Amino acid sequence: MTSIADTGERDLSPPTARQIFTGFLGIGLVGFGGVLPLARRMLVEDKRWLNPQEFSDLLGLCQFLPGGNVINISVAVGMKFRGWRGALAGILGLTAVPTAFVILLGVLYDRYSGDPHVQHVFAGLAAAAAGLLIGMAWKMLKPLLGKPQALLVVGLLFAAVAIFRLPLILVMLVLAPFSVLLSWRSPR
């Protein structure tokens, strides 16, 4: 499978906007939790619209830009093959079903949020969601533990945003350039 993909061989014709829409629709439909591994499998292994190197390059670009990584990938893939119509098809395919799903859950929450059992279920759900976020923060922090400069930035940002609740735009305007300057000047 990968050997075929590694040679860069793929379907001769680029995907149509409709195919881009349905491709990302499939990801949005089943992508509970992490969507990124599913996106890679669809793009590189199943449909072979991108070879592994192209996918890595595109992901690097999307991580570098503002916005969600997978959302940016859906836009970038659509743009690459079919221009702005393809980009629109990609992002709509990815977000249509999850939006409908989340609204359904929201309706249920509004209707039954007065019920004590339901309140407990949502309290438990929210506590578990918090636990997942703590886990994710730890996984991101771990590779930075040996790097004092990076930890300084993490600490300053945490203090500004979580403790002092300063507006994010101010914090980003000051700390993002500061952090980039630190990484520019430090030998890697």
Partner 1 sequence: MMATLIALALIFTELSLMAFGGGYAVLPEIQRRVVEVQQWVTPAEFSALFALAQAAPGPNMMIVPLIGWHVAGLPGLLVSSLAKFLPSSLITCLAVSVWERFRDRPWRAAVQAGLLPVTTGLVASSAVVITLASVTGVWLAVLTGVTAAISILTRAHPVAVLALGAVVGLAVSFV
174 touches partner 1 by CB under 8 A: no
d(CA 48, CA 52): 9
CB of 3 to partner 1, least distance (A): 26
Nearest by Cα to 81 from 3, 1, 10, 2? 10
For 172, the token pair is 């980003």
- Give the tokens for residue 145: 């533990």
164 is an interface residue for partner 1 by CB under 8 A = no
Closest CB 116 distance from partner 1, rounded Å: 6
Of the residues 4, 67, 111, 112, which one makes contact with partner 1 according to CB under 8 A = 67
- Using only the alpha carbons of the chain, give its radius of gyration: 21
Is the C-alpha dihedral spanning 10, 16, 17, 20 positive or negative? negative
Report, in Å, the least distance between residue 4 CB and partner 1: 25
20-49 residues near partner 1, rule: CB under 8 A: 28-35
Question: With binding defined as CB under 8 A, does residue 5 bind partner 1?
Answer: no
Sites for partner 1 among residues 97-136 (CB under 8 A): 97-99, 101-103, 105-106, 109-110, 113, 116-117, 119-136
Distance (Å, rounded) from C-alpha 150 to C-alpha 52? 30
Instruction: Identify which of residues 5 and 154 has a Cβ nearer to partner 1 in the complex.
Output: 154
4 or 109, CB closer to partner 1?
A: 109
> Is residue 183 within the footprint of partner 1 (CB under 8 A)?
yes
| 161 lies in the binding site for partner 1 (CB under 8 A) | yes
Least Å distance between CB 12 and partner 1? 22
Of the listed pieces 8-16, 41-49, 61-69, which binds partner 1 according to CB under 8 A? 61-69
- Are 45 and 2 in contact, with CB atoms under 8 Å apart? yes
Query: 40, 55 in Cβ contact below 8 A?
Result: yes
| Distance set, CA 97 to CA 39, 106, 111 (Å) | 16, 14, 21
Q: x/- site string to partner 1, residues 76 to 95, per CB under 8 A?
A: x--xx---x--x---x--xx
Rounded distance between C-alpha atoms, residue 82 and residue 24, angstroms: 14
